[in-house]
Amino acid sequence: MQEVRKCAICGNEFIAKRANTIYCSGPCRIEANRRRNKANWQNHLDEKNLSREIKKRGKPASAMTLAEINEEARAAGMSYGQYMVSKGLYS
Ligand SMILES: [Zn+2]
């Protein structure tokens, strides 16, 4: 059950091996994810900046779980280490 499709990212035609495949290759799928995450974060930024968002939650970075810190860091485009330094948690 193969079908020629057009990649949603690069526009190349490719043979879809599965019914739900919409990208021609791994890199295009990753690019699609990256764009979606970026778009989500951009919408988020349109409303409030990161520090305000953290204040609103009333949770200092030192009280956040590792997963939450990782999430915030990634959302801000920083590595875990860079984020911790920016919060003054590393000296
Ligand atoms: Zn592609």
Q: How many angstroms separate the CA atoms of 21 and 23, rounded? A: 6
5 CA distance to ligand 1 centroid (A)?
10
12 CA distance to ligand 1 centroid (A)?
6
In the beta sheet, which residues pair with residue 5? 14
Q: How many angstroms separate the CA atoms of 10 and 28, rounded? A: 7
27 CA distance to ligand 1 centroid (A)?
7
Give tens-digit pLDDT for 40-84. 877 776 665 656 655 666 666 677 788 888 898 999 999 988 988
Measured CA to CA in angstroms, residue 7 lies from 10, 25, 34, 68 at distances of 6, 8, 16, 34
Q: Could you tell me the residue ranges of all domains in the chain?
A: 1-47, 49-91
Q: Could you give the 3-state DSSP secondary structure of residue 21?
A: coil
Find the range with the poorest average confidence among 1-5, 43-47, 83-87: 43-47
Of the two residues 91 and 86, the one the predictor is more confident about is: 86
Of the two residues 1 and 38, the one the predictor is more confident about is: 38
Contact (Cβ atoms closer than 8 angstroms) between residue 72 and residue 84: no
Residues shown for the chain: 91
37 CA distance to ligand 1 centroid (A)?
18
35 CA distance to ligand 1 centroid (A)?
14
